[in-house]
Homo-oligomer: A and B are copies of this chain.
Amino acid sequence: MRSVFFLSDQTGITTESMGNALLTQFNEISLRKERMPFIDTEFKADIAIVKIQSRFIQDGERPIILSSIVNPIIRNKFKLECVCFIDFFETFMPELENALEQKAVQAMGKSHGMNDQIKYYRRIDAIDFSLQNDDGITVKNYEAADVILVGVSRVGKTPTCLYLAVNYGIKAANYPFAEVDLKHDKLPKILVPYHEKLFGLSINVDRLHQIRQNRIPNSNYANINTCKTEIEAAEHVMREYGIPFLNTSEKSIEEIASNIMQRIHLVRKF
């Protein structure tokens, strides 16, 4: 068992994500991972170091530290004999300074924070928007939407909308294809004026069956034939109307969101 610590003077979210991405390349090792955020004083560093040192004694192996601490005085404290220390800032700053022909400012807390209040409101507004426009609850705000996701129930519309709103400030509405829509092979009338904003999600029959089973076991809703009919009709409508769509079966929410953003050129709003 090896210990890994993700250290940051901020939230450490990015450091943890990058660290996890790197560590997935080693799949035979059992790792105990811990994020240590907000290490922005020497005092907090000293407390963290005590914990890391005692982990070294406990494990009998050098803990791995993945860090993005900006302040060199705080950062250097972690360069201990008993750890393997990797710092993202320290590694790349010289190269970036060179490329940009400018010195790094070495200031903490520039990458998050609410410096820009307009951006804050934009994000909150997008979250409010996606909540209000979830599942076709209302359709009167579609003029303001950046994207309107369509598809059958449980294809992944709501999680994707919330992900887009929370992480990118994108106003994402979603509208479920109901049985009545699908029966007539027609795009619901209400959606026609917003054709340009529509993006479809589809899914494999087995996968939808499984997800619906998990939700309402042995229901008509979860029945494999229901799933098959609904998916076929939805894909038929989307093809007929030229709505771009994506199969979500093997994809994480991040992957679905990134695919949509790439295909219809949506960008971060904050």
Interface residues of A (CB under 8 A from B): 2, 10-15, 17-18, 20-29, 35, 37-38, 62, 64, 68, 70, 84, 86, 88-89, 91-93, 95-100, 102, 104-107, 110-114, 120-121, 123-124, 127, 131, 134, 158-159, 162-163, 165-167, 211, 214, 250-255, 257-259, 262
Contact = CB atoms under 8 A, between A and B. Distances in A.
Contacts of A17: 13-14, 17-18
Quick one: which of A10, A91, A255 has the most chain B CB within 10 A?
Answer: A255
Given A91-B91, A110-B24, A111-B20, A64 B254 contact: no
- Count identical subunits in the complex: 2
A112 B254 contact: yes
A25 to B, nearest CB: 4
A252 B29 contact: no
Given A86-B96, A99-B64, A100-B2, A24 B162 contact: no
Nearest to A98: B84
B254 A27 contact: no
Contacts of A20: 111
Nearest to A12: B258
